[in-house]
Chain A
Amino acid sequence: MSRLLSNRFKVPSLRKSADSEYLATILVLLGVWIFLIVISVINRSDFLSRATFGAITFNMCIIGVLAIGQGFVVISGGILDLSITVSMLISSFMTVVFYELGWNTPALIIGSILCAGAFGLFNSILVVWLKINPLIVTLATGFAGGGVLLIVFDRKLVDPKSWIADFGTSYLFRFPTAWWPMALLTIGAHFFFKYSRFGRHFLAVGGNPLSAKAMGISLKRMRVSTFVGAALIGGIAGIIFAGFTPEIRPNAGTYYMLPVIAAVVLAGFSLAGGRGSFLALFVSVGFLSTIPTALVFFGLKSIWETFIQGFILIIAVSIDAYRIVKARGR
């Protein structure tokens, strides 16, 4: 949607840099987001309240972090990581395990995230050495991983008196504490892909793997890093999830998949790889997180949320597919 609109209203310029395309996407998404807020305010003036702000920012926390992990996979040409919610849950479970073992906070955080990373390493081994399509691999490990978690952990309860539970309800600088990981990761990912050598290699591999290989970039190394990286980011989401969800169950991740993929595609990440802006992703997550809250103000049931997210996903994927076909036909 955003890109289509941005093409229509584009400044007359024949040669577009990636940055100017991203800026157009960001502006269009911001426009749509503001439009949604404005009509919500016209509908009910009390839309702009502290409670609404809280609802939207809390909605963003987990989806936002997972979307960054997913965006990382997409931009690097890994298609999608359908098991990213399993990475999240592994970290959530381990957070509780380490807490019960009495680990201190930094060790707990690092340990949980690394456990998720180990799962990502397993994914990448299947993708790189057995050369199986990442969609198939992560679909399978997603299912299998959920099953293993069920057998190993069944469920875990988070102590409501623990700092983990506190983290899930507290505020820091006016925003939910759990909102900040997403914000910082967004900035980090933006700079990583824009200015770092490693980040640029991910973009190269995502844009054209054969060309990148011919220029001496190791595809294996990049693919492994992609799936491990996504799992590590999923691991960060896992700590937030533990803060939000005092009863952690292995099937709890399913609700995040649709909004996460919708956010990534809506932000203009091409499923073909190589392009995407994490700043746009931030705006996309914000917009998608506002929809369910706005729906309730309009008197619609929150079940509509799934329908609308699915609808947005279909449109965004269609635009992406159209753009890929057009690029091939050139």
Chain B
Amino acid sequence: MSLKKSMAIKTVAIFSAFALIIPTTNATAAPKFKLCVALGGIPGILGALGTSGDPIAKAGAKARGWDYYEVSNKLDAPTAVKNADLIVQQKCSALIQFNGRPEVNPTIAKKLAKAKIPVITYDIAQPGWYFLGIDNLGAGKAGGAALGKLIKEKWNCQPDLVLESHGYGAGIVDSMRTGGMVDGLKSVCPDIDKSKFKAFEGNGEIAVSQPAARDILAANPTAKKIAVVGLNDAGVVGPLLAARQLGSDYEAMGWGQDGNLIAGDKVDPDLKGSVLYFLEGYSAYAFEVLDAIAKKQAPKMRDGAVNPAVLVKPCPVSAAQAQNIPIDKVRIKKLAKDPSKTLYSIYCPK
């Protein structure tokens, strides 16, 4: 115990020594801006939502001469709350955060508001925090329109069935994306009969959307030309597989969302395309708000998914185009070299 104590004293001593130095060297300048990031901790994702750090935020901060501090919420509510305390201690000037356990966001918001730290949150809205996220409705409409073009080309806008693989648990995100896809499809093929649209719960997963789609196909035994839209790629691939399972007389085409299953060499042959969000590069968009905050001209609070501070532009890609887009690891490296760009501007096919 005494060892710990003496170490603590030493640390304090070292820090106070620094504290003495820093104000003297920086005496004339305003206190340095400090950007903090609380990572989401979702495995398999890069950038602010992921586990391994946000190189874009870091590079952007460096380019601006800001201090940078990073913690991970680890997809865990207690960790996220603890991190809020750390961020207050660190006297951050602004925070970028993704918290996959939003039930504790009100608690975190209270702590940060008390310390007057402005927050930019990704994808999950919280009152009082600048919302930055994908333009879900735009993503839906773009994907739907792209599939509509194919349906017009191949089936003369006359599919037998349009399967809407919803993920009702995602709430407004689902209605914007899946609903947006229906809107987009109708914008190309306005005359598809209402009765041809079959909405069902696919939960954004193959294991759910596949059996559900099988049952709907069985209940519509004469339908053979099947179009599929949905909340995400997995929710669309399930029904495409279902059609193949029920027989070779089925002809199915689907267009997904989120680009999870469109990259690489293992793409479902009936998944004609998807919409990429490039979420590993979200932080490139955050600087628009951060720069304003740094200039003490904080923008008006826009904190809702329907009233966002920054909308990230979605990028519809066909399966063929997706083959030319490198994987997220490569993309984020390239963006980190020039964080003034966005992944959309670098990679989205014109």
Could you say which residues of chain A place their CB within 8 Å of the CB of B201? 301-303
One of B54-62, B210-218, B306-314 at the interface: B210-218
A135 at the interface (CB under 8 A from B): no
Q: Is B247 located at the chain interface by the 8 A CB criterion?
A: yes
Cα(A169)–Cα(B214), bound, Å: 12
Is the CB–CB distance between B266 and A246 below 8 Å?
yes
Interface 0/1 of A239-277, CB less than 8 Å to B: 001001111010010011000000000000000000000
**Given A58-B211, A155-B44, A244-B210, A51 and B265 touching (CB < 8 A)?**
no
- Residues of B within 8 Å of A, CB-based: how many? 34
Q: Interface size class for chain A?
A: 35 or more
Is residue A154 contacting chain B, with contact meaning CB distance below 8 A?
Answer: yes
State whether the Cβ of B234 lies closer than 8 Å to any Cβ in chain A: yes
Interface residues as binary, B138-171 with A (CB distance below 8 Å gives 1, 0 otherwise): 0000000000000000000000000000000000
Residue A296, interface by CB 8 Å: yes
Which of A67-75, A156-164, A203-211 is the contact stretch? Answer: A156-164
Residues of A contacting B: mostly: helix
Q: How far is the CB of A16 from chain B (nearest CB, A)?
A: 38
Q: Is A150 an interface residue (CB 8 A)?
A: yes
Residues A247 and B237 in contact in the complex (CB < 8 Å), given A159-B266, A252-B205:
yes
- Within residues 199 to 240 of chain B, which ones have a CB less than 8 A from any CB in chain A? 200-201, 205-208, 210-212, 214-219, 221, 233-234, 237
Q: How far is the CB of B87 from chain A (nearest CB, A)?
A: 27
Does B246 count as interface, using CB distance less than 8 angstroms? yes
B215 lies within 8 A of A54 (CB):
no
Q: Given A246-B241, A247-B237, check contact A295 B44 (CB 8 Å).
A: no
Q: Is the CB of A49 within 8 A of B218?
A: yes
B225 vs chain A, min Cβ distance (A): 14
Of the residues A160, A176, A303, contact of B268 by C-beta under 8 Å: A160
One of B43, B217, B265, B267 near A55 (C-beta < 8 A): B217
- Find out whether the CB atom of B219 lies under 8 angstroms from the CB atom of A293: yes
Residues of A within 8 A of B211 (CB): 55, 58-59, 292, 302
The 4 closest A-B pairs by CB, nearest first: A55-B218, A157-B266, A55-B214, A154-B44
A-B pairs with beta carbons under 8 Å apart, 28 shown: A50-B221, A51-B221, A52-B221, A54-B245, A54-B247, A55-B215, A55-B218, A59-B211, A59-B215, A158-B266, A159-B265, A159-B266, A160-B269, A244-B210, A246-B268, A247-B233, A247-B234, A247-B260, A252-B206, A292-B211, A292-B212, A293-B214, A293-B215, A293-B219, A297-B219, A302-B201, A302-B212, A302-B215
Residues of A within 8 A of B (CB): 44, 46, 49-52, 54-56, 58-59, 150-151, 154-155, 157-160, 168-169, 176, 241, 244-247, 249, 252, 255-256, 292-293, 295-297, 301-303
